[in-house]
Amino acid sequence: KEKDLEKRNASIPFPGWDALEEERREQDPKIWITIKDANNNVIKNVEGSSKKGINRVAWDLRHPSTRAIRPGQSSGGGRSWWNSGPLAMPGTYTATLSKEVDGVVTQLDGPITFQVEPLFESTLKGVSYEEYNAYISAYNEVATQESKISDVLNSSLDKVKAMKLALSRAPAAPGNTATRLHDLQQQLFAFEEKLEGNKSRDEIGERNPPNAGDHLNVARRGLATTYGPTPMHKQNLDLAKTMMASLYTEIRTIANTTIPQLEKELQRMGAPYIMGQGIEE
């Protein structure tokens, strides 16, 4: 309508600021294809095109990636092996077509049933569907814990740097607070080495002793094919789980006890506000 008025050089009526703001906030409709296995478990939600005409969408025959998501992240981070989920096992699946408009999901068609078949039969028989799915769940649990640990470690390192700067601007003598911040930073550096290895060794390509992240990476390779995990993959997952549990306890104490105590001490000293500290009750 507006294009027609523009062609005729006619005035375009102003809809009002509220209408324009509502249009700005409006989200595009989405098309979803929900894939479920024979036990009615949701395997993946595949987003399709909502454009006019005939559109084609393909499921990549994988579970979704469970890699941690950063705020502001708009995509899955690429199609690399690391960013994709494990392969789905051969078997019977269903697909259901739905639309999402203004947050409301409505089923349009389906479910339809289809088969996922192997391209060829392997010489060695792999694990069962149930065992494969159990390993996926066990791996995801440890991988999620690793993501939490890494996230809290990085935010803690940044927070300590900010607290050091805040201390330098406080209208008070640094005193014992400077010592505590220094000790905490060194504790975090040592923690980082236990999680990721010695950075100085990495710089020159020197091999590090296996750390928690190394064991988890080996365990992930058990999901690279539908053959499933071998005893080596399971052993590395167990090692990663044990090491992560210890690291989780340590970083939780730092994040929930040590850092808040130092923040309150800086506040009592009149240090500047540090972004991310939030609003006090």
Return the domain boundaries, the chain. 29-116, 129-268
Contacts of 83 (CB under 8 A, 6+ apart): 65, 67, 76, 77
Q: Which pLDDT score is estimated for 259?
A: 94
CA-CA distance, 133 to 207, in Å (whole number)? 33
Range with lowest mean pLDDT among 10-19, 165-174, 243-252: 10-19
Given a cut of 70, whether residue 47 has pLDDT beyond it is: yes
CA-CA distance, 77 to 10, in Å (whole number)? 47
Distances (CA, A) of 232 to 125, 229, 236: 17, 8, 6
Given a cut of 80, whether residue 242 has pLDDT beyond it is: yes
Name the average pLDDT for the chain: 85
Which of 121-135, 178-192, 218-232, 263-277 ranks highest by mean pLDDT?
178-192
pLDDT-based confidence at 264, cuts 50/70/90? very high
pLDDT-based confidence at 213, cuts 50/70/90? confident
Q: Which pLDDT score is estimated for 88?
A: 87
For the entire predicted model, the pTM comes to 0.79
Q: Specify whether the CB–CB gap between 135 and 153 falls below 8 A.
A: no
Spell out the CATH class of 29-116: mainly beta
- CA geometry: angle at 148 spanning 146 and 150, to 5°? 70
Q: Which pLDDT score is estimated for 81?
A: 54
Given a cut of 90, whether residue 79 has pLDDT beyond it is: no
Specify the fold of 129-268.
Butyryl-CoA Dehydrogenase, subunit A; domain 3 (1.20.140)
Nearest Cα to 85, choosing from 240, 220, 236, 192?
220
Both tokens of 19, joined, read 């209408």
Quick count: other Cβ atoms within 10 Å of Cβ 201?
13
